């Protein structure tokens, strides 16, 4: 944990407040990332066989494992990634020591949609609570392949976390290497799955144009795209407002029913100093506690 923070002298709340994002370099080793990819591949195979995945016909290669990261039994051996002590330490460096998790994480495999957007509750309400005072909710992405020279990474608009419009701010492709983790505010305008162009890899195109670039002109992704996304927040009105907003969305309500919800997860979160908030009595209700989940579960002394 200390090594990770020491190796990232430019990482911190100041960079996040200035730019709307912050990148922690070399959080995980290449060998760890290889292991994560293997575990997610196993989880994907099981999800496909058991029907525990969500798909979108518009993006035929995209598979979203059902539930949050804590519901993926195969990830238990690596603290479900989102509760890895290095990750939690980085989150606390950005938000402070009091941090909340409420099941808002996903494990995705394959190429998905692109297009600038914001994820906060008041993205269309300039008078909303999200724009009052310092914003306290972040999302991070653990991309399990290179995006420094390959396509498939995250594009952001610099400084866009201070503007309601998602059309404002210079666009930038974030060059993340294997083992890096990128953090951004939910108020930051961003787009996934950026495209690098052969012979002009430094170009940063608008997502609409990226989708028109012929496959033969694109720099390919290094491997099949795998990513884990997770939201953490500080306690307060903005976090409460975000939960209330999500509670009115049918897709989120269904997602929560498949979230991981066991005593061992509660114990691991407590060990890491993370407060778990479980919105609604149906949190984790549809996730069958299979024998493999018990086999992979973390033992807390």
Cα–Cα dist 171/158, whole Å:
6
Residue with the two structure tokens 């610099």: 158
Domain annotation covers residue 259: yes
pTM equals 0.93
Domain annotation covers residue 87: yes
User: What pLDDT, in 10s, does the model give residues 78-89?
Assistant: 999 999 999 999
Q: Is pLDDT above 90 for 225?
A: yes
Higher pLDDT, 186 or 5: 186
User: What pLDDT, in 10s, does the model give residues 242-257?
Assistant: 999 999 999 999 999 9
- Stretch 181-191: mean pLDDT, rounded? 98
Cα–Cα dist 93/22, whole Å:
11
Q: Is pLDDT above 80 for 115?
A: yes
Domain count of the fold of the chain: 1
pLDDT-derived band of residue 3, with 50, 70 and 90 as boundaries? Answer: low
Characterise 251 by phi-psi region: left (phi > 0), alpha (psi -120 to 50), beta (else): alpha
> 3-state secondary structure string, 62-120?
EEEECCCHHHCHHHHHHCCCCCCHHHHHHHHHHHCCCEEECCCEEEEECCCCCCCECCC
Q: Is pLDDT above 70 for 299?
A: no
Domain annotation covers residue 245: yes
Q: Which two tokens stand for residue 95?
A: 């938000």
- Stretch 139-165: mean pLDDT, rounded? 98
Task: Report phi then psi at 28, rounded to 5.
Answer: -115, 150
Cα–Cα dist 2/164, whole Å:
36
Cα–Cα dist 202/173, whole Å:
8
User: What pLDDT, in 10s, does the model give residues 48-99?
Assistant: 999 999 998 999 999 999 999 999 999 999 999 999 999 999 999 999 999 9
> 3-state secondary structure string, 247-266?
CCCHHHHHHHHCCCCCHHHH
Domain annotation covers residue 220: yes
**Number of H-type helices and E-type strands within the chain:** 9, 12
Beta-ladder partners of 197: 200, 218
Domain annotation covers residue 196: yes
Q: Which two tokens stand for residue 139?
A: 């999302």
CATH number at residue 54: 2.60.120.620
Burial class (CB in 10 A: 0-12, 13-18, 19+), 298: middle
pLDDT-derived band of residue 298, with 50, 70 and 90 as boundaries? Answer: very low
| Residue 125 CA: distances (Å) to CA of 136, 150, 246, 273 | 17, 36, 16, 33
- Stretch 224-230: mean pLDDT, rounded? 98
Q: Which two tokens stand for residue 195?
A: 């495209």
Domain annotation covers residue 301: no
Beta strands per DSSP E along the chain: 21-24, 53-56, 59-65, 99-101, 105-109, 137-143, 155-157, 171-173, 181-185, 190-191, 226-233, 274-276
Residues 6+ apart with CB under 8 A from 122: 128, 129, 130, 131, 241
Domain annotation covers residue 30: yes
Cα–Cα dist 68/85, whole Å:
18
Report the candidate in 64, 65, 66, 71 with the shortest Cα–Cα distance to residue 261.
71
Domain annotation covers residue 78: yes
Structural domain range at position 39: 2-296
């Amino acid at each position: 944990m200390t090594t990770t923070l020491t190796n990232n002298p430019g990482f911190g709340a100041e960079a996040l407040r200035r730019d709307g994002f912050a990148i922690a370099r070399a959080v995980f080793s290449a060998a760890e990332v290889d292991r994560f990819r293997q575990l997610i591949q196993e989880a994907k195979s099981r999800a496909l066989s058991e029907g525990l995945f969500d798909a979108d016909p518009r993006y035929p290669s995209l598979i979203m494992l059902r539930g949050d990261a804590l519901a993926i039994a195969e990830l238990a051996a690596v603290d479900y990634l989102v509760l890895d002590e290095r990750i939690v330490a980085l989150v606390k460096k950005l938000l402070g020591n009091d941090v909340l998790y409420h099941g808002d994480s996903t494990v995705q495999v394959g190429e998905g949609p692109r297009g600038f957007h914001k994820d906060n509750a008041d993205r269309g309400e300039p008078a909303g609570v999200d724009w009052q005072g310092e914003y306290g909710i972040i999302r991070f992405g653990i991309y399990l392949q290179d995006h420094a020279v390959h396509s498939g990474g995250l594009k952001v608009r610099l400084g866009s976390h201070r503007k309601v419009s998602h059309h404002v701010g210079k666009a930038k492709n974030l060059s993340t290497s294997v083992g890096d983790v990128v953090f951004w505010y939910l108020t930051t305008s961003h787009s996934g799955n950026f495209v690098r162009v052969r012979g002009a890899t430094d170009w940063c195109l608008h997502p609409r144009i990226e989708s028109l670039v012929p496959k033969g002109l694109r720099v390919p992704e290094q491997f099949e795209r795998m990513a884990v996304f997770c939201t953490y927040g500080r306690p307060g009105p903005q976090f409460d407002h975000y939960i209330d907003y999500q509670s009115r969305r049918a897709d989120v309500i269904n997602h929560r029913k498949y979230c991981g919800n066991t005593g061992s997860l509660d114990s691991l979160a407590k060990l890491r100093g993370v407060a778990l908030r479980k919105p609604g009595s149906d949190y984790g209700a549809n996730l069958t506690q299979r024998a493999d989940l018990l086999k992979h579960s973390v033992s807390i002394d």
